[in-house]
Amino acid sequence: MQILIIRHADPNYAIDDLTQEGHLEAAALGQKIKNAGLDELYASPLGRAQTTAKYISEQTNLPIQTLDWTRELQGWVSSLPNGEKVASWDYPGEFIDDRKKDLLKWKRDEDYWLKDTDKLKKYNKMITDSDQFLEDQGLVRQGGTYEIIDPSAERKKIAIVCHGGFGLFWLSHLLHMPLSFVWQSFWLPTSSVTTVLFEKRNTNIVVPRCIRMSDVAHLEEANLPVSKSGLRATNY
């Protein structure tokens, strides 16, 4: 199975929809993905994700199935040393002790963010929702791997239009990587496509493997710029 994790196109957060540039991004994405062989299309309930998904739906004739648990994260707000409030996924990596100490070992409840019991509870809720969704698709999690319980799941390809913070949040779980490192080490451009293959080799057990990250080829082909939304770098 392949899951295409798609960040919504360039957002107008004030109205929870897309900017004019975002509509152009979403249209280019729809054109690019129409022949990708999608079997199912899902989206967060938030407006910016739904509008992006509509462009894909129009090109693929797939109905949009709404997944409430893929909405952008709530309650993940942190304070910078100067007191400024930011989303936790926008927190600068240079302020995270585990990174400064070059920590290589990882346990979920020892992650920089998940030492907070409330945040750990939110993370575990996401895991429960992810497990249920994948089981409905025909895959049952066993630790960090998945067992195929429905052979039709092997060749299935689905797209999920969601959000930057959530997308990386979910990837950290699927790829078995520390949440704090994923948030501070990766960025999902608007309308980008990240593909996770549940790789099968010689058994009925599959392992999630990222085979394409933050793909924006559709923007390049349409001569559209890559939005900086969600990227706080001063030298980009």
For 117-140, the DSSP string reads HHHHHHHHHHHHHHHHHHHHHTEE
As a whole number of Å, the end-to-end CA separation of the chain is: 35
Which domains, and CATH codes, for the chain? 2-221 (3.40.50.1240)
Per-residue pLDDT tens over the stretch 62-72? 999 999 999 99
Low-confidence ranges of the chain (pLDDT < 70): 104
pLDDT of residue 138: 97
Mean pLDDT of the chain: 94
Residue 93 pLDDT: 86
In this structure, what are the phi and psi dihedrals at residue 153, rounded to the nearest 5 degrees? -70, -20
Contact 38, 70 (CB under 8 A): no
Predicted pLDDT at 232:
86
The full length of the chain comes to 236
pLDDT at 96: 85
Cα angle vertex 115, ends 114, 120, to 5°? 40
**Using one digit for the tens of pLDDT, what is the confidence trace for 122-155?**
999 999 999 999 999 999 999 999 999 999 999 9
Taking alpha carbons only, the member of 1, 2, 5 closest to residue 172 is 5
pLDDT for res 44: 98
The span from the CA of 100 to the CA of 141, in Å, is: 33
